[in-house]
Amino acid sequence: MEVQIKETLERLLAQEDTDGDKKITVEDQGPKSFLLENIQGETYKVEGTYFLSNLLQELVLAMETGAETAEIPIAHLEEAPTVRISRMIKDYYWDGLTRTMDERGIAALLSDTKNESLEAESILRVYVPYKDDLALDYYMQLKHEMPLEVIQLPKKVSPKYVKSLNHKPGILSLKLNEDEGDVSGEPFVVPGGRFNEMYGWDSYFESIGLLLDGRTDLALAMANNFQYEIKNYGKILNANRSYYLTRTQPPFYSSLIREVYEKTGDRKWLQSQLETAIKEYETVWMIEGKRLTQNGLNRYLAEGIGKPPEAEEGHFHHEIGPYADAAGMEVDTYENQYASGEITNPDLDSYFVHDRSVRESGHDTSYRLEGNCADLNLVELNAFLYKYETDFAELILKEFENTFTIGDRNYDSEYWFQKAAFRKKKSDQYLWNDASGLYFDYDHHKKEQSTFVSATLFTPLWAKMCSQEQAERVVKNGIPLLKEKGGIASCTEESRGPISKERPQKQWDYPNGWAPHQMMIWKGLQNYGFKNELQELVYRWLFMITKNAVDYNGTIPEKYDVVSATHKVFAEYGNVGTEFQYITKEGFGWMNASFQYGLSLLHPSYIESLNNLIPPEEVF
């Protein structure tokens, strides 16, 4: 129907948006019935929250073209929920989340809420690696046209140097390409909302959705940016911000390059990326005394000094408060003096080593890792590195005739298969609990297994690190402990422990569920042939996403409360992706990917049930 955009939108909102948030949700108290009138005076009745919110979204998309009238397809208003969500992700959200570090991208970053003002004008600091002359020249030229401060990093970036940047944070450059004098930034996909930079493990999970949606170009570009980070910053960064220079993230680089290569078949590109991935494995993960512990397994260990500067004000008051009380000081005063070095506190120094390591793990924050992260050989990290080793072995065997040379060093598949076998042996020794038939983290400092039941116990299935018998026991014993209405919870309520004012909810704990956990669990179930369990867990997760999107104007957030199957999450940092007007243009990166991936796995009969919003308890 061809309609007057502005008049129709104003009339729709006046009637249906009763709480004034510029959305139409189940919480609005309007009649939930609207007569859509075309320019010829013909009408079409739109009824129900979902269909009304679809109309709102279509009107806004049309308005953004600058036209006064628009053809609103009735088929779009009546779209099946899974079809609409998937289409919006593919056609709008990926582009909405795409950024570059060239002039066009820098302009968008100038308004980022993380930037601090210099004098009266908002200025973006851009930090450039010591050896990237192209980036330095480009940003120095751009400085004449835009409010930039361009800073070249020293040849050696130490934790002390990074701490000196705490009060002058900025963005780190990523890969630039030059073609006949024209410079453009290699694109990357951001998580969304306030996360307006390239994050480590988010990028891999986003790429799963990108590859399914035919956006191989973006997945490949993120691998290229990973390569740039390793070559110029020594690691895949937590994100490309100055305060992340000492911190990496969960390792998925080999998975990313392997899955991109399956789409492109570009052997020269694969060779270059594989060289860099092996370098990262050896220099970031396998230097003993750092992220490699004496027992042969790995841990997270983020270097850095003092408290992480990106944490929100008051975030550490629970930890710092007792020391401030003992010193007879206000907690803010104590915290500021500790940060400046006026007060020394070895206990807090130790705590912040663990806290930074939690952030490196991607699980920031969780009581599983509170105050002990650097002491733990985590199940998931060792599963991820096992997959590195088997990926290297299989790629070298299949694509490089079992010989891969870097400099004067030759690698064959047997070398990597032996590394993987050693890791599996050590994981069976330290991480596997035969009595319970589950995997647990191992405290290499206390020399004992943890008892904390986490969704990460399934990651050995994702990596194909466990035997079929182990997989069967993990599925049999683990799923009943963690399965909730909306999928797998991050941990059990018992493991998380009681919540109070003194012990607040952590976002990576029960009752919350996260996309990367679900996606790895699904792949693990698929690897070992658990078809029924796979279908049920995919359905539970997608039902929750679909129902919340239908009821709340297309909302796709960062995380969910899987116990109540709602996006209304009560935890630190809120829930990114829920604050928008009219229409979300981004969703949330890895949540978008989980929806596309889940749909690709789900049987058509279950997709039909999803579209009819049949609850999982009535389906399984």
Residues 188, 601: Cα–Cα separation, whole Å: 26
Contact criterion met (CB below 8 Å) for 77 and 55: yes
What does 346-376 look like in DSSP terms, one character per residue? HHHHHHHHHHHHHHHHT--S-TTSTTTGGGE
Q: How many CB atoms lie within 10 A of CB 456?
A: 28
Residues 539, 545: Cα–Cα separation, whole Å: 10
Contact criterion met (CB below 8 Å) for 524 and 537: no
Q: Which residues face 378 on adjacent strands?
A: none
558 noted as active-site residue = yes
Residues 364, 346: Cα–Cα separation, whole Å: 22
Residues 301, 54: Cα–Cα separation, whole Å: 46
Of the candidates 364, 380, 389, 391, the residue annotated as catalytic is 364
Contact criterion met (CB below 8 Å) for 616 and 562: no
Helix (H) or strand (E) holding 58: helix 49-63
- Give percent helix, percent strand, percent coil of the chain, each to the nearest 5: 50, 15, 40
Q: How far is CA 172 from CA 181, 243, 409, in A?
A: 22, 10, 32
Closest CA to 85 of 588, 494, 604, 510: 588
Residue 202 burial class via C-beta count within 10 angstroms: exposed 0-12, middle 13-18, buried 19 and up: buried
Residues 529, 541: Cα–Cα separation, whole Å: 20
Q: How far is CA 454 from CA 35, 76, 300, in A?
A: 50, 40, 17
Angle at 69 between CA 64 and CA 71, to 5 degrees: 90
Of the candidates 16, 355, 536, 558, the residue annotated as catalytic is 558
**What is the three-class DSSP state of 151?**
strand
Residues 204, 255: Cα–Cα separation, whole Å: 8
355 noted as active-site residue = no
Contact criterion met (CB below 8 Å) for 222 and 207: yes
Active-site residues, by number, are 364, 558
